[in-house]
Amino acid sequence: MSEPEVSFSDLLNRRRSTRRFLDTPVSDETLAALLAQARRSPSGANLQPGEFIALQGGARERFSSALTGAFRAGQQEPEDYSYFPQPMPLSLRRRQVSAAARLYDALQTGRDDRAGRDRQFERNFRFFDAPVALLVTIDGRMGSGCYMDLGMCLYGLMLAAAAQGLATCAIGALASYPELIRATLQLEPGRHIVCGMALGYADPAAPENEVETERLQPEEFFSILR
């Protein structure tokens, strides 16, 4: 008996950032198929910017060890691109704080539990122990619009995964250590580090996987000029 089709609306609502996964493997063939679907996303002049690297075995261990070591040491590096506005406007800061509060409340990690929050953040660098660990890069010669195009490809990958019952989490924290990542993986200097992505089957018992963040209502960002 075939499974019932999921509506596009349900697919959009199903997708969320998953931070704990089952150890059920995802085959290379499945991953390749998902990436092929994601590449159907539009891009200016059909440049199709961005590259994906699946980290496995020893390469993944070296990668995670290097980044967790840098994080524990308080190491800082200039990022390849500006992720957040500097300074962060108060209205946006409230959204950031609210999203973090929902996650840490689900984990029962109090605001004053610095060690607990650091342990959770450090899991970014282990891809939340997902079976698939992806590093996303882009040619540094690309313009800022190409980051937008790559973002559409990333969202396409998330939705393609959700349609197959898989879960994902984009990991912006990796952009904090571009030089270390390039050195660890022996990437060319012009390859900019965009983010990571964890992919696999969500652990249904994990409270952090039930976290939902608020979304703006149309009247807050949409207007009609006549």
- Residue 161 belongs to domain spanning: 10-80+124-210
Query: CATH number of the domain that 184 lies in?
Result: 3.40.109.10
Flag whether pLDDT at 2 surpasses 60. Answer: no
Instruction: Say if 19 falls within a structural domain.
Output: yes
Flag whether pLDDT at 3 surpasses 80. Answer: no
Question: What is the number of domains present in the chain?
Answer: 1
Instruction: Say if 152 falls within a structural domain.
Output: yes
**pLDDT band, very low/low/confident/very high, at 1 (cuts 50, 70, 90):** very low
Instruction: Say if 5 falls within a structural domain.
Output: no
- Give the pLDDT score at 4: 58
Instruction: Say if 150 falls within a structural domain.
Output: yes
Give residue-wise pLDDT tens across range 206-223. Answer: 999 999 999 999 999 999
Instruction: Say if 86 falls within a structural domain.
Output: no
Q: What is the mean pLDDT of residues 172-180?
A: 98
Structure-token match 């697919």, residue found: 11
Give residue-wise pLDDT tens across range 186-202. Answer: 999 999 999 999 999 99
Instruction: Say if 190 falls within a structural domain.
Output: yes
